[in-house]
Amino acid sequence: MIGEGERQWDEFKANGEGVIQNPVRFSQWTTSCLNLLDKLSISSNRFVREFEGWVAPSPGRKVNLGGALGVLKSARVEYSLGLAVEYHLSVSAAVFDGLLDEADYLVSKGYLRAAAVLTVRRSKRASRLAPELRA
């Protein structure tokens, strides 16, 4: 998505008119970005609010494609550093009693792969503890 945003930003700068040349492509990109950002920022939707602030036209203010791209790049950095994930994990730890409870919840919502990952992780943790429990 960042690559597409950079392509649109380059085209926007090159035309010199300050107008988005392909509104359908821009709308498609912003919708995809908002869907992704909504999943990353569980707590306050900070990324979503910032992104929407740059892409939503308002009286006296034009769309700022560069600002929106900056929000997307910031989200990528925070996610790659584990900052976006850390919050999600702390919330799930507070809500669920254990990995299997969380896996059951994920299955009920249709997230089968994520549930499988948690189940395998739980099994590995149990196999590491088994020798200690026998002692």
* Per-residue pLDDT tens digits for 82-120: 666 545 554 554 445 566 777 777 788 787 887 787 777
72 domain-assigned: yes
CA atoms in the 13 A half-sphere facing the CB of 34? 15
Same domain, 100 and 77: no
90 domain-assigned: no
Confidence of residue 128 (pLDDT cuts 50, 70, 90): low
Same domain, 66 and 125: no
Query: Residues of 53-68 as b/e, b for ≥16 C-beta within 10 angstroms?
Result: ebbeeeeeeebebeeb
Same domain, 66 and 113: no
What tokens were used for 112?
A: 């089968």
Q: What is the pTM of this model?
A: 0.56
Same domain, 77 and 100: no
Q: Examine the fold and report which residue of 58, 81, 104 is the final residue of a domain before the chain moves on.
A: 81
Same domain, 110 and 44: no
Q: What is the mean pLDDT of residues 39-63?
A: 76
Contacting residues for 87 by C-beta, under 8 A, at least 6 apart = 42, 43
pLDDT number for residue 5: 87
Domains identified in the chain, total number: 2
| Whether 82 contacts 73, CB under 8 Å | no
Quickly tell me which residue has 């550093």 as its tokens.
81
88 domain-assigned: no
Domain range enclosing 115 = 96-134
